Amino acid sequence: MHQQEEGSPGSGNPPSISIDTKGNNLFETNKALFKEKKGPIVREISSQVRFIK
- Whether 28 is covered by a domain: the verdict is yes
Q: How many domains does the chain have?
A: 1
- Residue of 21, 3, 24 whose CA lies nearest to 13: 3
- The pLDDT assigned to 52 comes to 63
Q: Let me know: does 13 contact 7? Beta carbons within 8 Å.
A: yes
In a domain, 6, yes or no: no
pTM score, whole prediction: 0.51
Q: What is the pLDDT of residue 49?
A: 80
Does residue 9 form part of some domain? no
pLDDT at 35 over 90: yes
- At residue 14, the pLDDT reads 80
Residue 50 lies inside a defined structural domain of this protein: yes
pLDDT of the residue at 13: 79
42 and 48 Cβ atoms separated by less than 8 Å? no
* Structural domain harbouring 35: 23-53
Domain-located, residue 10:
no
Give pLDDT tens digits for 21-31. 999 999 999 99
Contact status, residue 27 vs residue 18, Cβ threshold 8 Å: yes
